[in-house]
Amino acid sequence: MNPKYSKMFESVSLPSGITLKNRIVLAPMTHMSSNPDGTVSDAELAYYARRTGGAGMSVTAVTHVTPNGIGFPAQFGSYDDSFIPGLKRLAETIKQQGSVAVLQMFHAGRLTPEQAVPAGQVVAPSAVASERPGSPEPREMTDEDITSVIRDFGEATRRAIEAGFDGVEIHGANGYLIQQFFSPHSNRREDRWGGSVEKRLAFPIAVVEEVQRVVAEHTKLPFIVGYRFSPEEPETPGLTMEDTYALVDALKEKNLDYLHVSLNEFWSKPRRGEADTRARIEYILDRVGGKVPVIGVGAIHTADEAAEALETGVPLLAIGRELIIEPDWVEKIESGREEDIETVLTKSDQERLVIPDGLWNAIIHTPGWFPLVDDK
């Protein structure tokens, strides 16, 4: 291995007591390839078996914790004990490759497709539609709805423990329900769940505390609890870096194992509110102050790009699209073959790279998402 990449392969001890063999994380990537009944499919298991051997930790595609919290077609669920056998197969598949297995979980809130939920009943903190084209106006959740969903996150965590996962990641990013409660765009409430920044933080913190309560009750083994967040929103009103600092300040006191910053591009700059030219991840690292490990992510393809990102001091680096393009990315760097890393897809790569149909169709039909070229 080239010595300039040695930092990538240092082990990392998380606060829970679990040690990761290196600093590389398989990022959660939706693959829309679960069985029609919401269970984990063989195609998904094959996908994970192919690309989790090198990463120190692997975070699954997101699972929905309630039936009306689904966000994508062909997504696997975790809202009933009947899903545990499939979840167990998924955890075993990842762990057999030598990676730590983390189940990402969410509720899509107002981003739930109407056709995917009973009677098209999309729910959210307030009756405010997303600015995404074609978004429905959701029903405002009652206090009872809210406390029920918090319990559902706890129950999904229990199932993850029973299925043998090493941890869970609370998906509070990308505009889904947990972020919707924190966002001034989607949360216009004036009760205990909305209004001031502190009240908009109430739901995210309640979910964290419920997940941690369930972990303490159901396992004595070390168990990871991570939290993913998006640092800003494009909407007005929307989340700013100042809001993000308030979120980080609250989360870093909750004894989490990591904070996962959701970014499309690792070096992206703040939209507004900061005068200098540093990247968002650098502001966040400063704010966290080393109190909890941070995962950075976003458009990292080459070994040099990963090494440069780690120079910011970020402890962990998640690789998403590149581990789909190059499943042996970690192994090639470790064995000194970084020059052999593929960074583009060709249209005949699906079978060779063990990419499920749902994900492959999304790649082919979403221009600009992946670097896709004609066959060589």
- Percent of the chain whose pLDDT exceeds 90: 95
* Mean pLDDT value of segment 291-304: 97
Rg of the chain (C-alpha set): 20
Query: 197: closest CA among 233, 247, 162, 232?
Result: 247
Asked if residues 266 and 300 have their Cβ atoms less than 8 Å apart, the reply is: yes
* Mean pLDDT value of segment 307-322: 98
CA distance 79 to 84: 10
Residues in Cβ contact with 110 at an 8 Å cutoff, skipping those fewer than 6 apart: 122, 123, 124, 128, 129, 130, 135, 136, 138, 177, 180, 186
When pLDDT is cut at 50, 70 and 90, the band that residue 376 belongs to is low
* Mean pLDDT value of segment 11-21: 98
**In the prediction, which pLDDT does 250 show?**
98
Active-site residues, by number, are: 176
Question: Is the model's pLDDT at 372 over the cut of 70?
Answer: yes
* DSSP assigned state of 112: S
CA distance 136 to 133: 9
> Lowest-confidence range among 21-25, 112-116, 226-230?
112-116
> Lowest-confidence range among 51-55, 112-116, 280-284, 335-339?
112-116
* Mean pLDDT value of segment 77-101: 98
* Mean pLDDT value of segment 7-28: 98
Query: 27: closest CA among 208, 230, 260?
Result: 260
**In the prediction, which pLDDT does 211 show?**
98
* Mean pLDDT value of segment 227-234: 95
Residue 211: domain span: 3-373
* Mean pLDDT value of segment 47-64: 98
**In the prediction, which pLDDT does 278 show?**
92
The model's pLDDT over 153-207, given as tens digits with 9 standing for 90+, comes to 999 999 999 999 999 999 999 999 999 999 999 999 999 999 999 999 999 999 9
- Percent of the chain whose pLDDT exceeds 70: 100
**In the prediction, which pLDDT does 271 show?**
84
Q: Is omega for the bond preceding 237 within 30 degrees of 0, making it cis?
A: yes
Question: Is the model's pLDDT at 134 over the cut of 80?
Answer: yes
**In the prediction, which pLDDT does 375 show?**
73
Question: Is the model's pLDDT at 274 over the cut of 80?
Answer: no
Q: Which two tokens stand for residue 68?
A: 């009306």
What CATH number did the domain enclosing 333 receive? Answer: 3.20.20.70
**In the prediction, which pLDDT does 117 show?**
87
* Mean pLDDT value of segment 357-365: 96
Domain count, the chain: 1
Question: Is the model's pLDDT at 122 over the cut of 80?
Answer: yes
**In the prediction, which pLDDT does 272 show?**
77
Helix, strand, coil distribution of the chain in percent, nearest 5 = 40, 15, 45
Mean of all residue pLDDT scores within the chain: 96
